Structure 1
Amino acid sequence: MRIGLLGTGPWARMAHAPALSRHEKLDFAGVWGRRPEAAKELAERHGVRTYDDVDELFADVDAVAVALPPQVQAGLAARAARAGCHLLLDKPLAPTVEQGRAVVEAVAETGVASVVFFTTRFQPEPEAWITEQAGTPGWFTAHAQWLGSVFTSESPFATPWRREKGALWDVGPHALSVLLPVLGDVRGVTAAAYGPGDTAHVVLDHAGGASSTLTLSLTAPPAASGAALELRGEAGVAALPESSDGAVPALMRAADALLTSARTGRPHPCDAAFGLRVTEILTAADDLLNGGAR
Structure 2
Amino acid sequence: MRIGLLGTGPWAERVHAPVLAEHPGLEFAGVWGRRPEAAEALGAAHGVPGYADLDRLLAEVDAVSVALPPSVQPGLAVRAAEAGCHLLLDKPVALTVPDARAVAEAVRARKVASVVFFTVRFGGPQIPWIEEQAELGGWFTGRSDWLGSVFAPGSASPYAASPWREEKGALWDVGPHALSVLLPVLGDVAQVTAVAGPLDTVHLVLRHTGGASSTLALSLTAPVAAGGTGMELRGEHGVAHLPARGEGPLAAMHRALDALLAAAASGEQHPCGADFGLRVVEVLAGAERSLATGGPVEV
Aligned residue type for 1:164 = E
Q: 1:290 matched to which residue of 2?
A: 292
Q: 2:212 matched to which residue of 1?
A: 210
Task: Please tell me whether the aligned partners of residues 195 and 294 of structure 2 are also in contact (alpha carbons under 8 angstroms).
Answer: no
Residue 188 (structure 1) aligned with residue 191 (structure 2): yes
SS of the residue aligned with 2:129?
helix
SS of the residue aligned with 2:184?
helix
Unaligned runs of 5+ in 2: none
In the TM superposition, what is the alpha-carbon distance from 1:292 to its structure 2 partner?
A: 7.6
In the TM superposition, what is the alpha-carbon distance from 1:14 to its structure 2 partner?
A: 0.7
Q: 1:65 matched to which residue of 2?
A: 65
Q: 2:281 matched to which residue of 1?
A: 279
Q: 2:26 matched to which residue of 1?
A: 26
Q: 1:226 matched to which residue of 2?
A: 228
In the TM superposition, what is the alpha-carbon distance from 1:55 to its structure 2 partner?
A: 0.9
In the TM superposition, what is the alpha-carbon distance from 1:116 to its structure 2 partner?
A: 0.2
SS of the residue aligned with 1:91?
coil
RMSD: 1.0
Pick from 159, 175, 179 the counterpart of residue 176 of structure 1: 179
SS of the residue aligned with 2:261?
helix
Q: Distance in 2 between matches of 1:137 and 1:48?
A: 47
Q: Distance in 1 between matches of 2:289 and 2:39?
A: 36
User: Which residues of 2 match residues 56-205 of structure 1 at below 5 A?
Assistant: 56-152=56-152, 153-158=155-160, 159-194=162-197, 196-205=198-207
Residue 260 (structure 1) aligned with residue 265 (structure 2): no
SS of the residue aligned with 1:150?
coil
Q: Distance in 2 between matches of 1:48 and 1:138?
A: 50
SS of the residue aligned with 2:144?
strand
Task: Please tell me whether the aligned partners of residues 200 and 219 of structure 2 are also in contact (alpha carbons under 8 angstroms).
Answer: yes
SS of the residue aligned with 2:136?
coil
Q: Distance in 1 between matches of 2:147 and 2:29?
A: 36
Q: Which moved more, 1:174-183 or 1:219-228?
A: 219-228
Q: Distance in 2 between matches of 1:33 and 1:291?
A: 38
SS of the residue aligned with 1:187?
strand
Aligned residue type for 2:209 = A
**1:237-277 Cα shifts (integer Å, max 9, x gaps):** 10000133210110011000000000001111100000000
SS of the residue aligned with 2:207?
strand
SS of the residue aligned with 1:5?
strand
In the TM superposition, what is the alpha-carbon distance from 1:155 to its structure 2 partner?
A: 1.7
Q: Distance in 1 between matches of 2:254 and 2:219?
A: 27
Task: Please tell me whether the aligned partners of residues 137 and 185 of structure 2 are also in contact (alpha carbons under 8 angstroms).
Answer: no
SS of the residue aligned with 2:244?
coil
In the TM superposition, what is the alpha-carbon distance from 1:40 to its structure 2 partner?
A: 1.3
Q: Distance in 1 between matches of 2:27 and 2:137?
A: 43
Q: Distance in 1 between matches of 2:229 and 2:208?
A: 21
Task: Please tell me whether the aligned partners of residues 194 and 294 of structure 2 are also in contact (alpha carbons under 8 angstroms).
Answer: no
SS of the residue aligned with 2:230?
strand
Task: Please tell me whether the aligned partners of residues 31 and 50 of structure 2 are also in contact (alpha carbons under 8 angstroms).
Answer: yes
In the TM superposition, what is the alpha-carbon distance from 1:289 to its structure 2 partner?
A: 1.7
In the TM superposition, what is the alpha-carbon distance from 1:218 to its structure 2 partner?
A: 0.2
SS of the residue aligned with 1:151?
coil
Aligned residue type for 1:178 = V
**1:133-159 Cα shifts (integer Å, max 9, x gaps):** 001121100100001110011322120
Q: 1:240 matched to which residue of 2?
A: 242
Q: Distance in 2 between matches of 1:131 and 1:244?
A: 19
TM-score using structure 1 length: 0.98
Aligned residue type for 1:39 = A
Unaligned runs of 5+ in 1: none
Figure out how many residues of one structure are paired with residues of the other and give that number.
293
